[in-house]
Amino acid sequence: MTDADSHPLGEPGAERAGRIAALLAELRRQGIADERVLAALARVPRERFVSPDLARQAWENAALPIGEGQTISQPYVVARMTEALALTGGERVLEIGTGSGYQTAVLAELGATVVSVERHAPLARAAARLLADLGHDVAIHVGDGSLGWPPDAPYDRILVAAAAPRVPAPLLGQLSPDGGRLVLPVGPAADQDLVAVERRGPETVESRIGPVRFVPLIGRAGWPGREDEER
């Protein structure tokens, strides 16, 4: 693409490239050190995962609404959680909370085989269409993410994009005992910690990464909520 070319949403290529470069520089200043993660974020067209009226804000380091009362996470949070997974390529990853599919695409860009669960059927359908259009072969299911997705367990990594009151036992049970790693926010609405749990055989080691704020993980092993979401 030359400087005179335009991105499909109308933004000049040079301007878009500048926005991406500025975001990556900001993420580095905030402590994101894994260049593979940063490169994956740069390759995923975040503007495709938001509504057209928000496309010019897509490369800002901010969460944006995507419908169904949900948001596309701030790029820093996506980078931080992805970095915490310590992916090397080829891992089987369970993602809880597909949302727009942006985090899903980042995981796929890093060579993961991704299974994703979303409780909102309209979001799941839209994400599946977009990810397929971008060439990502991922499995998206509608269901209670707090219960994981047992048919494809165990998983090398599990990432949860919603806050649970505690580490859900079903997710721990689906985590590989051979060094499996689970990253999720834990805590009430206003006071959550991003936590990493590593499983080695029957033992688990939990570490705190830092404060975050996510929507609640609704489900039988999460927070109580409506059970009549559209399917």
Q: How far apart are CA 28 and CA 7, in angstroms?
A: 25
Decide if 207 is catalytic.
no
Q: Any idea how long the chain is?
A: 231
Residue of 145, 78, 137, 138 lying closest to 117 (CA atoms):
145
Helix ranges restricted to H, the chain: 13-29, 35-43, 75-85, 102-109, 121-133, 169-173
**What's the Cα-to-Cα distance from 2 to each of 39, 43, 56, 58, 79, rounded to whole Å?**
20, 17, 19, 21, 28
- Whether omega for the bond prior to residue 154 falls within 30 degrees of 0, making it cis, is yes
Using alpha carbons, select from 71, 67, 65, 112 the residue that is nearest to residue 92: 112
- What residues contact 168, with CB distance under 8 A and at least 6 apart? 146, 147, 148, 217, 219, 221, 222
* Catalytic entry in 51, 73, 100, 116: 73
Active centre residues (catalytic): 73
